[in-house]
Amino acid sequence: MLFRVIDKPELRSLFDMLAEKNTVVGPVETGKDRNGRPLYAFEEVKDFKILRLDYTTTKLPAKRYFLPFREELATFRMKDDDWTKTIDYNIDKPLVFFGLHACDINALNKLDKVLMGPVYPMPYYAAKRMNMFIIGTGCEPQPFCFCRSMGADTVHHGFDLNITDIGDKYFIEIQSAEAFEMVKDLRTADLSEDDHVQYMKTIAEKNRKFTARVDTTDLTKILDMEFQSPVWKQWGDKCLGCGTCANVCPTCYCYGVEESVDPSLQKAVKTKTLYSCNVVDFAEVAGGHNFRPERSSRLKYRYYHKHRGFVEAYEESLCVGCGRCGEACLAGITVPEVIASVRGEEQ
């Protein structure tokens, strides 16, 4: 990793450099909530002025750019009694992500483990992931953020460039050769002693702002032991089974596949749609048997997949602690509260 500092106005040059020949996606303000606070979303940005690098969080992750809610896996052409299948990975250009927080980059790194591992790597994801140029940016911990508990508050790889505001300058980390090529055309400087101090101060200040916490000590084992715990039923009674939590989660990737045929009977498509394990028919099989008929068993399954199964497979959990699911849940179910209750802690 190479470290540099740039003067603040240089950021705009970097943006313009990238935006001139590429599509840039970044945080923008889309409106205000009931309390007058701004709402943010990841969208295509053409003008640096509307980019909001000081955004708090987005309701939805940037998932739609690499795991779209609905995606065509293949199309078929039917002729007489025969057919041909055409596969398209649905990407034709690189995308620049300007301003992802550490949690969202870590979410990609986690997805990479399942979707780009050695066992059946998924080309639809891989093709998009390999064409992402990612610029990370520092953040301001919100009351619902518990990324620090999940080890996702800093990011070590999976991006090209990382930018931290250290007062009157930006501290930049250069990860990839492509990023190095870009930065060469900016006015950068080596870090001074004072820049080091400023950077440490910024990080320490950020760390002091975390309020939400999850105790992950021995969590896989505790989940194993508490499989029959009555708390699951209590959370299940609250849960609406709506699947919103999976929808807003940057690490949820489960899906269903369906095919449909064109009325002309000459064309058909195979479509993948993201699904949620909290939805009632997630594990229903032929003959009508449902392996998880109760909301409690489905909610429990979601926690087991994220905080036990994934840990067993990859030594880390499938949750970055972004808090989006808790913020979006109409029943007010949040990860810190669920885990605390399983651990027998009073909230």
Partner 1 sequence: MDHRLAFHDVVPRHHKYHRISDLGSFEYTYKAEITSVYKLTELENLYRIRIIDAEDRRHFSFRPGQFIMLELPGIGEAPFSISSSPSNHEDMELCIRTAGNLTGVLSRAARGARVGIRGPFGTSFPMERMHGGNILLIAGGLGLAPLRSPIAHVQEHRSMFEHVDIVYGTRDQSRMLFKFQYEMWKKDDINLHVILEKTDNGWDGPVGYIPKILEDIIKSRPDTFIEQTYAIVCGPPVMFKSVCTMLAERGVPMQKMFVSLERRMHCGMGKCCRCNVGSTYTCLKGPVFDYWTVMNLKEAI
Ligand X SMILES: Cc1cc2nc3c(=O)[nH]c(=O)nc-3n(C[C@H](O)[C@H](O)[C@H](O)COP(=O)(O)OP(=O)(O)OC[C@H]3O[C@@H](n4cnc5c(N)ncnc54)[C@H](O)[C@@H]3O)c2cc1C
User: For binding to ligand X (CB under 6 A), which residues are involved?
Assistant: 281, 284-286, 288
Closest approach, Cβ 82 to ligand SF4, in A, equals 43
- Applying CB under 6 A, among 105, 322, 339, 342 the residue interacting with ligand SF4 is 322
Asked if 145 interacts with ligand SF4 (CB under 6 A), we say: no
- Applying CB under 6 A, among 111, 329, 339, 342 the residue interacting with ligand SF4 is 329
Closest approach, Cβ 54 to ligand X, in A, equals 46
CB nearer to ligand SF4: pick between 110 and 272: 110
CB count within 10 Å of CB 238 equals: 14
Closest approach, Cβ 319 to ligand SF4, in A, equals 3
CB-based contact 10:1 (threshold 8 Å): no
Window 88 to 107, contacts with ligand SF4 (CB under 6 A): none
Amino acid occupying residue 219: L
Separation of alpha carbons 138 and 165, rounded Å: 7
Window 237 to 276, contacts with ligand SF4 (CB under 6 A): 239-245, 248-251
Window 124 to 143, contacts with partner 1 (CB under 8 A): 124, 126-127, 130-131, 133
C-alpha distance from residue 137 to each of 54, 77, 251, 294 (Å) = 9, 45, 19, 41
CB nearer to partner 1: pick between 40 and 301: 301
Span of 11-19, 159-167, 198-206, 329-337 interacting with ligand SF4 by CB under 6 A: 329-337
- Applying CB under 8 A, among 109, 229, 305, 340 the residue interacting with partner 1 is 305
CB-based contact 289:71 (threshold 8 Å): no
Window 232 to 261, contacts with partner 1 (CB under 8 A): 253-261
C-alpha distance from residue 301 to each of 27, 33, 167, 265 (Å) = 32, 32, 44, 40
Closest approach, Cβ 262 to partner 1, in A, equals 8
CB-based contact 168:141 (threshold 8 Å): no
CA dihedral sign, ordered 47, 50, 55, 61: negative
- Applying CB under 6 A, among 19, 28, 320, 342 the residue interacting with ligand SF4 is 320
Span of 3-11, 191-199, 321-329, 339-347 interacting with ligand SF4 by CB under 6 A: 321-329
Closest approach, Cβ 160 to partner 1, in A, equals 10
Asked if 331 interacts with ligand SF4 (CB under 6 A), we say: yes
CA dihedral sign, ordered 231, 151, 65, 6: positive
- Applying CB under 8 A, among 34, 37, 49, 93 the residue interacting with partner 1 is 93
C-alpha distance from residue 49 to each of 16, 43, 46, 62, 254 (Å) = 11, 14, 9, 20, 36
Ramachandran angles phi, psi of 248, nearest 5°: -90, 0
Asked if 333 interacts with ligand SF4 (CB under 6 A), we say: yes
Asked if 178 interacts with partner 1 (CB under 8 A), we say: yes
Span of 8-16, 113-121, 282-290, 317-325 interacting with ligand SF4 by CB under 6 A: 317-325
- Applying CB under 8 A, among 118, 230, 263, 332 the residue interacting with partner 1 is 118
Which has the closest alpha carbon to 73: 38, 112, 125?
125
Which has the closest alpha carbon to 138: 202, 183, 184?
202
CB-based contact 326:250 (threshold 8 Å): no
CB nearer to ligand X: pick between 36 and 288: 288
Question: b/e map of 122-145 (b: 16 or more CB within 10 Å)?
Answer: bebbbebbeebbbbbbbbebeebb
Residue 165 CA to its chain's centroid (Å): 22
Separation of alpha carbons 341 and 245, rounded Å: 19
324 contacts which partner out of ligand SF4, ligand X, partner 1, none, CB within 5 to 8 A by kind? ligand SF4
Q: Tell me which residues touch ligand SF4 (CB under 6 A).
A: 239-245, 248-251, 278, 299, 306, 319-325, 329-331, 333, 335
